[in-house]
C-alpha cells in the first residue's frame, strides 16, 4: 500500500523539499547571503564577481547539510577560508557562524513573508502511513524545523523530530553522516534496517545509504534523478504520492 518493502516498520522524513516547499526558500536565502558576501569580497580585491548558483551550488554544497557545514563547503569550493567565530556572531560578521546567521535571518524573513506550503502528495502519504500504523519521524538539519512544521500545519503527523537543535545538543554529525537518521530510528524504537528514509538532498540519500537503512527513497524535485540514485537512493520518485499507486 505504501510502496515499501515488507520489513519496513518506521519512516524517517527529511523536511525541506520532501514534506514542505521550503527548499526553494532556502536556496533563495543562500543566494542572497553568498552573493552579498562574494560581491563585497570581489570589490575589495578588485576581482570578478561570480554569483552563487542556486541550483548547482545549492545541490552540491549546502542542500541537506547543517548551516555552518554548508557555509564551509561552499566557501571552500571558492578557495575562501574564514574563522569559525561563535554562535552569537552578528549576521554581518566575516566568520562561518556570521555568514550562517545572515542566511538564517534571511530565510526566516522569507518564510514569514511567504508562508510555508506542504507538498500535498507528501501529506497524503504521511497520513496513509499513520493510518497503517507506521511510526513517523522528521529528520532535518534545520534549527527551524518545528516552526516550519507548525506553519505548514503538519506538526501533528509525527511522533519524533530530530532537528538542528537536537543535533547540536547531542553532538550528532550532520548529513551526509547518518547520525541524525540513526537517532530518529532509535527514537522510534526500530533498527535502521527496518526503517525507510525519504530524502530530496544528495547529502541526505548518502546518509541513508551510509546508515544501512532498509530502504532509501529519493524525491526528485529539481531534475537530479540519476544523481540521487548514484548517491544511494533505492528508488526515486517525483512525488511521494507515486508510492501510493504502486
Structural domain range at position 185: 10-22+117-244
Q: Are residues 170 and 207 in the same domain?
A: yes
Domain's final residue, options 51, 82, 114: 114
Q: What pTM value is reported for the model? A: 0.83
Q: How confident is the model at residue 112 (pLDDT cuts 50, 70, 90)?
A: confident
Q: pLDDT confidence of 13, banded at 50, 70, 90?
A: very high
Same domain? 71 vs 17: no
Question: What does the mean pLDDT of the chain come to?
Answer: 95
Overall average pLDDT of the 121-150 stretch: 95
pLDDT of 23 > 90? The answer is no
Domain count, the chain: 2
Q: Is there a contact between 219 and 239 (Cβ–Cβ < 8 Å)?
A: yes
46 is catalytic: no
Considering the domain boundaries, does residue 4 fall inside one?
Answer: no
Percentage of the residues of the chain whose pLDDT score is greater than 70: 100
Asked if 143 and 109 sit in the same domain, the reply is no
* Same structural domain, 152 and 141: yes
In a domain, 103, yes or no: yes
Residue 3 in domain: no
Catalytic residue among 16, 89, 163, 220: 16
Q: Domain containing 155 — which CATH number?
A: 3.40.50.1000
Is-contact 154 127, C-beta < 8 A?
no
pLDDT of residue 42: 96
At residue 154 the predicted structure's pLDDT band, cuts being 50, 70 and 90, is: very high
16 is catalytic: yes
Residue 5 lies in a domain: no
Last residue of a domain, one of 114, 137, 162: 114
132 within domain boundaries = yes
Is 148 a member of any domain?
yes
Q: Which of 14, 89, 179, 234 is catalytic?
A: 14
Amino acid at each position: 500500500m505504501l510502496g515499501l518493502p515488507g520489513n519496513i516498520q518506521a519512516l524517517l522524513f527529511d523536511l525541506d523539499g520532501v514534506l514542505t516547499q521550503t527548499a526553494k526558500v532556502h536556496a533563495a536565502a543562500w543566494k542572497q547571503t553568498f552573493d552579498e558576501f562574494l560581491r563585497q569580497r570581489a570589490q575589495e580585491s578588485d576581482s570578478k564577481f561570480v554569483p552563487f548558483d542556486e541550483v548547482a551550488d545549492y545541490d552540491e554544497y549546502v542542500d541537506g547539510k547543517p548551516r555552518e557545514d554548508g557555509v564551509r563547503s561552499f566557501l571552500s569550493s571558492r578557495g575562501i577560508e574564514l574563522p569559525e567565530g561563535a554562535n552569537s556572531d552578528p549576521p554581518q560578521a566575516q566568520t562561518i557562524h556570521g555568514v550562517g546567521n545572515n542566511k538564517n535571518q534571511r530565510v526566516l524573513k522569507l518564510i514569514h513573508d511567504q508562508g510555508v506550503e506542504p507538498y500535498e502528495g507528501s501529506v497524503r502519504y504521511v497520513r496513509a502511513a499513520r493510518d497503517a500504523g507506521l511510526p513517523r519521524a522528521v529528520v532535518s538539519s534545520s534549527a527551524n524545523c518545528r516552526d516550519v512544521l507548525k506553519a505548514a500545519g503538519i506538526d501533528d503527523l509525527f511522533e519524533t523530530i530530530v532537528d538542528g537543535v537536537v543535533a547540536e545538543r547531542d553532538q550528532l554529525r550532520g548529513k551526509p553522516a547518518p547520525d541524525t537518521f540513526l537517532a530518529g530510528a532509535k527514537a522510534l524504537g526500530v533498527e535502521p534496517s527496518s526503517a525507510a528514509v525519504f530524502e530530496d538532498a544528495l547529502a541526505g540519500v548518502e546518509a541513508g545509504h551510509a546508515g544501512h537503512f532498509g530502504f532509501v527513497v529519493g524525491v526528485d524535485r529539481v531534475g537530479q534523478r540519476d544523481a540521487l540514485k548514484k548517491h544511494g537512493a533505492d528508488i526515486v520518485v517525483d512525488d511521494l504520492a507515486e508510492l501510493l499507486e504502486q
